[in-house]
Amino acid sequence: MTATPAATPATTPAAARAAEILGRPVSLNGLTMPNRIAMAPMTRMFSPGGIPGEDVASYYGRRAAAGVGLVVTEGTYVGHDSAGQSDRVPRFHGEEQLAGWAKVAEAVHAGGGTIMPQLWHIGMVREQGRPPVADAPAVGPSGVRTDGTEGAGKAMTQRDLDDVIGAFAEAAAAAERIGFDGVEIHGAHGYLIDQFLWAGTNRRTDAYGGDPVARTRFAAEIVAAVRQSVSPEFPVVFRYSQWKQDAYDARLAETPEELEAILAPLAAAGVDAFHASTRRYWVPEFDGSDLNLAGWTKKLTGRPTITVGSVGLDGEFFKAFQGEGSALRSIDDLLDRLERDEFDLVAVGRALLQDPEWAAKVLAGRLDELKPYDAASLKTLS
Ligand SMILES: Cc1cc2nc3c(=O)[nH]c(=O)nc-3n(C[C@H](O)[C@H](O)[C@H](O)COP(=O)(O)O)c2cc1C
């Protein structure tokens, strides 16, 4: 089923071009999405007991009905005692939780969209004493936090690694069973998987630490286990970033060669697409090329990619929009990159949180109707 935004004539030639290019369908492994607009994963904490309720289903469903081609859900905890620290973040295990999620998937499908849960383990970000399992320790590659604090948690044993790998695989199998269209593994922003990828938090001297390939081993084992637990045509997306939640300047890779060392084993393990998380999509990733992180990822792996970062944040999106410390960007830049196949999908976060109709407006060329972003929208789920 395909969402059909209202066929109002586009207001300007730029708006018509945006509607046409972003409105092109795209396929990922066995899945065809109606257009290039993805909803970026955004934690909302509106799921008491870890159970997404009807309000969560209608929150995602209305965005799909308004044209979002792919919904990537907020991060949802896998079934491991140390995976999270909030009782209001949805979990992707347990009967009631999965029943809630099945209704979310139904609502998105009814709207004509596709949906993947973002599978999440927060690792060393966890503070002890917090729900859902109060006495569970924070776990990570070396028991070190992103800021270098030592002794705040537990360095994972082989048994811990196996348990977490198994939890991701079970969650992915559940996703397919209850009607989702794929899964996204959260390997970004300084959470557990990224803590392994990044030398700043991974000080292991065993097979899971050391050079970039060794640091990628845990992530690759998760991908391989997930891949094995679902059908071959079920898409597996891997999200990663250079930046960390509390360290915007941190980098996994300083050069394309270093990045390739990390991405190649992940692609080989079965990643169908990468979601390269950046805060501003137009920033070149490495010297000597305009390619952004998603562009480099596609070039290095040959896999489709999703870009993200400050798309549509300005009400003036259609004429131009500006990010901190950056020159004005015209929508044409984003569209040119899509046309050059630098990346395949565009994820939109805050602008879609603010305006559930964002995709419908863009796909119908009604750019003049977009609402400017206001952080107050974080407080409600609508
Ligand atoms: C409220 C909020 C919650 C977020 N939660 C997540 C999350 O659960 N998982 C994740 O990978 N990124 C998360 N992000 C990052 C977004 O997915 C996205 O990468 C970021 O907001 C940049 O996109 P934007 O400029 O379009 O908002 C979150 C962002 C916001 C604003």
What would the pLDDT profile of 153-190 be if each residue is shown by its tens digit?
Answer: 999 999 999 999 999 999 999 999 999 999 999 999 99
Query: Which residues are within 8 A (CB) of 190 and not within 5 positions of it... i.e. 6 or more apart?
Result: 125, 146, 198, 201, 244, 245, 246, 247, 250
- How far is the centre of ligand 1, averaged over its atoms, from the C-alpha of 70 (Å)? 15
Contact residues for 202 (Cβ-Cβ < 8 A; gap 6+): 141, 142, 195, 196, 208, 209, 215
Q: 13 pLDDT exceeds 90?
A: no
- Measured CA distances, 146 to 126, 129, 187, 202, 275 (Å): 12, 20, 14, 10, 22
Residue given tokens 């300083």 in the structure block: 254
Instruction: Please report how the helices 331-339 and 13-22 are oriented relative to each other, as an axis angle in degrees rounded to 10.
Output: 40
% of the chain beyond a pLDDT of 70? 93
Residues with CB under 6 A from ligand 1: 40-43, 74-75, 118, 186, 188-189, 239, 277, 308-311, 313, 348-351, 378
Report pLDDT for 8. Answer: 59
Say if residues 136 and 151 touch (Cβ distance below 8 Å): no
Place of tokens 């990643």: 271
Q: What is the structure's pLDDT at 332? A: 82
- What is the model's pLDDT at position 205? 97
To test the pocket of ligand 1, the residue of 37, 39, 42 to mutate (highest count of ligand atoms within 8 Å of its CB) is 42
pLDDT number for residue 330: 66
Band of pLDDT at residue 335, cut at 50, 70 and 90: very high
Give Dmax over CA atoms of the chain in angstroms: 61
- Which pLDDT tens digit goes with each residue over 79-89? 999 999 999 99
For residue 320, give every residue at least 6 positions away whose Cβ sits within 8 Å of its Cβ, in sequence order, or none: 314, 328, 329, 330, 331
Q: In which band, very low, low, confident or very high, does the pLDDT at 314 lie, cut at 50, 70 and 90?
A: low
**What are 264's two structure tokens?**
């190649």
Ligand 1: which atom is nearest the Cα of residue 75?
Answer: 8
CB 163 within 8 A of CB 80: yes
CA of 284 to the centre of ligand 1 (A): 20
**Residue 57 pLDDT greater than 50, yes or no:** yes
Indicate whether 33 pLDDT > 50. yes
- Measured between alpha carbons, how far is 288 from 293 in angstroms, rounded to an integer? 13
The residue whose CA has the least distance to atom 7 of ligand 1 is 42
Question: Has residue 365 got a pLDDT over 60?
Answer: yes
Q: Is the Cβ–Cβ distance between 79 and 133 less than 8 Å? A: no
For the CA of 350, the closest atom of ligand 1 is 27
CA-closest candidate to residue 76, choices 124, 32, 45, 119: 119
Query: How many angstroms separate the alpha carbon of residue 174 from the centre of ligand 1?
Result: 24
- Is the pLDDT at 318 greater than 60, yes or no? no
Least Cα distance to 239 among 103, 38, 25 occurs for 38
Residue whose entry in the numeric block shows the structure tokens 């995976």 = 83
pLDDT for 3 beyond 80: no
Dihedral (CA of 356, 358, 361, 366) sign: positive
Which residue puts its alpha carbon closest to atom 6 of ligand 1? 42
Task: Report residue 273 as tokens.
Answer: 């697409």
* Beta-ladder partners of 240: 187, 276
Percent of the chain clearing pLDDT 90 (strictly above): 80
pTM above 0.85, yes or no: yes
Nearest residue by C-alpha to atom 25 in ligand 1: 310
Pairing assessment for the beta strands 26-28 and 31-33 based on DSSP bridges? antiparallel
Is the predicted pLDDT of residue 52 greater than 60, yes or no?
Answer: yes
| Beta bridge mates, 183 | 236
Apex 126 CA angle, 116 and 182, nearest 5? 10
Closest-CA residue to 100 (of 70, 121, 73, 120): 73
| Digit-coded pLDDT (tens) for 107-117 | 999 999 999 99
Q: In angstroms, what is the span from residue 95 Cα to ligand 1's centroid?
A: 27
CA 59 vs CA 98, 227, 352, 377: distances in Å: 17, 29, 11, 13
Q: Which two tokens stand for residue 212?
A: 């970039």
- For the chain, state the CA radius of gyration: 20
What mean pLDDT is predicted for residues 51-63?
98
Strand ranges (DSSP E) for 234-284? 236-244, 273-277
Closest ligand 1 atom to 188 CA: 11
Indicate if the pLDDT at residue 6 is higher than 60. Answer: no
pLDDT at 161: 98
Query: Using one digit for the tens of pLDDT, what is the confidence trace for 206-239?
Result: 999 999 999 999 999 999 999 999 999 999 999 9
Mean of pLDDT values over 252-268: 97
8 Å CB contact between 126 and 85 = yes
**What per-residue confidence (pLDDT) applies to 321?**
43
Specify the ligand 1 atom closest to the Cα of 312. Answer: 26
How far is the C-alpha of 281 from the C-alpha of 313, rounded, in Å? 12
- Confirm if 223 and 269 have CB atoms less than 8 A apart: yes
Stretch among 8-17, 27-36, 333-342 having the lowest mean pLDDT: 8-17
Closest residue CA from atom 24 of ligand 1: 349
Instruction: Please name the residue whose Cα sits nearest to atom 30 of ligand 1.
Output: 42
Task: Give me the catalytic one of 60, 77, 191, 373.
Answer: 191
Read off the pLDDT of each residue in 262-272 and give the average, rounded to a whole number. Answer: 98
Q: With bands split at pLDDT 50, 70 and 90, how would you rate the model's confidence at 328?
A: very low
**Could you tell me the distance, in angstroms and rounded to a whole number, from the CA of residue 349 to the centre of ligand 1?**
6
Q: How far apart are CA 328 and CA 325, in angstroms?
A: 10
Atom of ligand 1 lying closest to residue 352 CA: 26
Per-residue confidence (pLDDT) for residue 110, from 0 to 100? 98
Per-residue pLDDT at 329: 61
Asked if residues 76 and 118 have their Cβ atoms less than 8 Å apart, the reply is yes
Question: For a pocket test of ligand 1, which of 37, 39, 43, 71 has the largest count of ligand atoms closer than 8 A to its C-beta?
Answer: 43
Residues 151 and 143: beta-carbon distance below 8 Å: yes
Active site residue 191: yes
324: tokens are: 């901190």
pLDDT at 66: 98
- In the reported structure, the alpha carbon of residue 225 is separated from the centroid of ligand 1 by a whole-number distance in angstroms of 26
Give the Cα separation of 319 and 172 in Å (integer): 41
Residues, the chain, total? 382
43 CA to centre of ligand 1 in angstroms? 7
Alpha-helical segments (H) within 280-330: 293-301
Q: Whose CA is nearest to atom 2 of ligand 1?
A: 42
pLDDT at position 312: 81
Q: Which atom of ligand 1 is nearest to the CA of 72?
A: 17
